[in-house]
Amino acid sequence: MKVSVIGLGYVGLPLACAIALKTNHTVVGYDKNKNKIELIKQKKCPIDDVQCAKDLENVNFEISDNVNIIDNSDIYIVCVPTPVLNDYTPDLRPIRNATEDITKFIKKGQTVIIESTINPGVCEEVVVPIIESKTGLRSAVDFDVVHCPERINPGDKYWNVYNIPRNLGATSPEATKKMANFYRSFINAEINEMPNLKTAEATKIIENTFRDINIAFVNELAKSFDVLGIDLMAVIRGASNKPFAFMPHYPSCGVGGHCIPIDPYYLIERAKLSGFDHKFLKLAREINNSMPEYTINLLSEALNNYEKPIKKTTIGLLGLSYKGNVGDLRESPSIKLKNILIEKGADLLIYDPFFPEMSNVNSLDEILNKSYAILIATDHDIFKNITGEILKKNNINIVIDGKNCLNKIDILNSGIYYKGIGT
Ligand code: SAJ
């Protein structure tokens, strides 16, 4: 078969490589980003994915920024972003655009697979109507739509496109079976055939919403235990040795990334259209969105002990990325922290080794040497080696550890003010 992958990002590129390497199907890749196409043609992997970088060396499939390359495919796989707008409502433009592209080429007997994370209803209420209205073809009769939600974990050294189990739903049982077998031809993990599209769409959404509410749970505990004088990290360590029915999550200066803080809104907004108000999910989002501000308040309280305002004090912001050891700014709490500190008139120094162009110092040593207080906003490994001794040598007075990733006791024993989130 001819398989077209639309969107060659952290989901589409590994997928295209896997199909090209593991099957005899003809694979083509389309992405509207010319630079990305050029990079991939030079075998330079534009994403942080060890397996994909390796695969890229060994594959040869056609890619282009010209959409005509997807013409006459048996299977079209959509791997485009599904962000939210400023008011947190779903931004389905990339999905709509990809579907419009497909309508120019789709013929009877062909299949559209959506891998992007979407809320229950998008396939039947957005994708199918666009194709039917533009082509006159009928879904489940002339063409099928399948949803197989992506599960790539950016930066993960073990889990990759080949070994992560997948769930799949479709417009017809025949398509479910056929496409599940297609995925089984290159994935060495369970491919779970689901009853319909909505169950498949709901599955991915609740996986990430589950994570968001559990992080909100410990973030609220952090605020409560800060006033109760209880070390939440010690409590979580204690609860974690329960051999069953407990799953640790950790408080922090905020929840970033393109999945966890976004996916809940897809469900919240769609349920609202049908008259259900997800109070709990919305509260969890409010709590997680409040953590950057809470973190700055901790810094203000710390500075008060030294009778210093944030204004005109040299504050070192360590980390811009939303997640340790990757370079990704999407929904990053660090950006919110940076904006609040600028608004409050801090003499702000910024360092993230993954974003030299956005840093205003050239090294970790430099930011430590020049700062009065530091705020850890990303748990990059390079920051975890900051000891009390290093801080003392650099005359750092205050450490606010937004990712609870430093050694609290060691820093306190060096006579330096340390405050983490809930610890
Ligand atoms: N975070 C916390 N406390 C936690 C865990 C995370 O504050 O206990 C923060 C992180 O600092 C980050 C954000 O939440 O800012 C998201 O962290 P994440 O570890 O969930 O990282 P993501 O966004 O890369 O999430 C991906 C997701 N994978 C897919 O959607 C396929 C998610 O489902 C995975 O659970 C997650 O990776 C993972 O486990 O690493």
CATH number of the domain at 2-195, please?
3.40.50.720
- Give 208-243 pLDDT, tens digit per residue: 999 999 999 999 999 999 999 999 999 999 999 999
When pLDDT is averaged across residues 308-323 and rounded to a whole number, the result is 98
- pLDDT the model gives residue 44: 92
| Residue nearest to ligand 1 atom 22, measured at CA | 257
pTM of the model: 0.94
What architecture is domain 206-423?
3-Layer(aba) Sandwich (3.40)
| Residue nearest to ligand 1 atom 7, measured at CA | 252
Locate the ligand 1 atom nearest the alpha carbon of residue 291 and give its number.
Answer: 7
| Residue nearest to ligand 1 atom 11, measured at CA | 323
- Give 46-103 pLDDT, tens digit per residue: 988 889 999 999 999 999 999 999 999 999 999 999 999 989 899 999 999 999 999 9
- Give 24-43 pLDDT, tens digit per residue: 999 999 999 999 999 999 99
Query: CATH 3.40.50.720 region(s) of the chain?
Result: 2-195, 206-423
Instruction: Tell me the β-bridge partners of 401.
Output: 376, 420
Gap from CA of 260 to ligand 1 centroid (Å): 6
- pLDDT the model gives residue 153: 87
Locate the ligand 1 atom nearest the alpha carbon of residue 156 and give its number.
Answer: 40
| Residue nearest to ligand 1 atom 31, measured at CA | 151
Ligand 1 probe mutation, 116, 150, 212, 259, most atoms within 8 A of CB = 259
Gap from CA of 167 to ligand 1 centroid (Å): 20
- Give 94-151 pLDDT, tens digit per residue: 999 999 999 999 999 999 999 999 999 999 999 999 999 999 999 999 999 999 999 9
Ligand 1 probe mutation, 211, 236, 352, most atoms within 8 A of CB = 211
Gap from CA of 70 to ligand 1 centroid (Å): 33
Task: List active site positions.
Answer: 204, 259
Share of the chain above pLDDT 90, in %: 96
- pLDDT the model gives residue 156: 87
| Residue nearest to ligand 1 atom 14, measured at CA | 255
Averaged confidence pLDDT in the chain: 97
- Give 293-302 pLDDT, tens digit per residue: 999 999 999 9
Ligand 1 neighbours by CB, cut-off 6 Å: 151-154, 207-208, 211, 215, 249-250, 252, 255-257, 259-260, 322-323
Locate the ligand 1 atom nearest the alpha carbon of residue 154 and give its number.
Answer: 24
- Give 153-170 pLDDT, tens digit per residue: 877 889 999 999 999 999
For tokens 């694979």, name the residue: 27
Ligand 1 probe mutation, 49, 323, 381, 384, most atoms within 8 A of CB = 323
